[in-house]
Structure 1
């Protein structure tokens, strides 16, 4: 049951986000619904998909775990390291910096890094579906952005002050996610088993 709910949530969430890459269809929807109407509908559909993903994955973990392969223990260390970078990339999305300019689309880079980190450290079917689909979506969204000529910010701010801020906040975010969020909300400790 949980796996079915997870798959439905992934389908809804990814379909809504892939729709955004179809610029003509998106523009037609905005014209029909208005900007605010489009945002409301997009948000409702995305949140519904996300809620189903969370609910389905929780159900799957509690009742229907299916192992596909058994990742070696060292993959957890690789995942933890990748998550440090994913946290920094996430913060770079919101602060103009050389990091943001270099990455072009730091949110997509963060999502792809997050998904890859979790994909290599988890060998169960639900995790493969969850993280594999987000990795595939991130790759497709980046290709779509490149095809439409969306190359992110063209110039970085002068100096490296904002880069230091991005790194410091990214490190803090990584600490919060690793020490508090992952063990207490997800139920899986990051730094010990």
Structure 2
């Protein structure tokens, strides 16, 4: 349990950096933007691998019995989560998490929600909580979900007066439905769509089983 808590604390602390402009800009000034992005991405992947490794060492405690319908939650929500996460990271966004500079024109995905990366984390985590139904999964993905929600709250408090808020929304597609934003497509969204299709296909065709020992498609027939 100690390793799991420590690894999760490191992961959450590491992923707080993009949400704090002052700290992020300090790293960029010292390292340069491209080296910072490369090192941060490698550190994030290493931290995520450590978290999952530590979680798998915990005892399995069932909270609710598995059922085929539960597996459809991650199958449906994960591609949406991947798209929001990838397009959000590679789109300029002055009010939320991103790899791009905040002084650039906001990306088209911001018209969907001003917190695409955090919504990506939240949807991915929520889908896996329902599908797994055990204590360690609830602890693992529950922390990810709470981190995403907390990140939105903190970003809203920090950027409450930003003019971008008038033409965007927290809830996905709310600003578009209210006529305050227009849906658009830009290169970051096209790249995100292509990577989402490739990543989802790889996971369904054996990648998920190789990494985590479970076949998502097989779970839909149990």
Shared fold, TM over 0.5:
yes
8 A contact 1:179–1:190 mirrored in 2: no
Deviations 1:128-148 (CA, angstroms, capped at 9, x unpaired): 111000000001111111211
Corresponding residue to 1:80 among 64, 72, 75: 75
Question: Cα distance, 1:161 vs. partner?
Answer: 6.0
After TM superposition, the structure 1 = structure 2 runs for residues 115-126 of structure 1, keeping only pairs within 5 Å, are 115-126=125-136
Output the CA distance in 2 between the equivalents of 1:173 and 1:21. 25
Q: Are the equivalent residues in 2 in contact too, given 1:71–1:121 (CA < 8 A)? A: yes
Aligned CA distance change for structure 1 residues 46 and 84 (closer, same or farther; 3 Å)? closer
| Maintained 8 Å contact 2:82/2:196 | yes
C-alpha distance in structure 2 between counterparts of 1:169 and 1:45, whole Å: 21
Aligned counterparts of 2:204 and 2:43: Cα–Cα separation in 1:
29
| More helix, by proportion | 1
Residue 135 of structure 1 aligns to a residue in which SS?
Answer: helix
Give the alignment of 1:27-106 within 5 angstroms: 30=26, 35-36=30-31, 43=40, 49-60=47-58, 64-93=59-88, 94=90, 98-106=108-116
Query: Equivalent residue of 1:104, what SS?
Result: coil
Rate the CA distance shift 1:99–1:78 in 2: closer, same or farther, 3 A. Answer: same
Q: Count how many residue pairs are aligned between Structure 1 and Structure 2.
A: 182
Give the gaps of 5 or more residues in structure 2: 93-106, 169-180
13-22 or 108-117, which deviates more: 13-22
State the TM-score, normalized to the length of structure 2. 0.65
In the alignment, which residue of structure 2 is the partner of 1:132?
Answer: 142
How large is the Cα RMSD of the aligned pairs? 3.7
Q: Structure 1: give runs of 5+ residues left out of the alignment.
A: none
Note if 1:11 corresponds to 2:26. Answer: no
CA contact (8 A) 1:71 1:120 kept: no
Residues 45 and 81 of structure 1: CA distance in aligned 2, closer, same or farther (over 3 Å):
closer
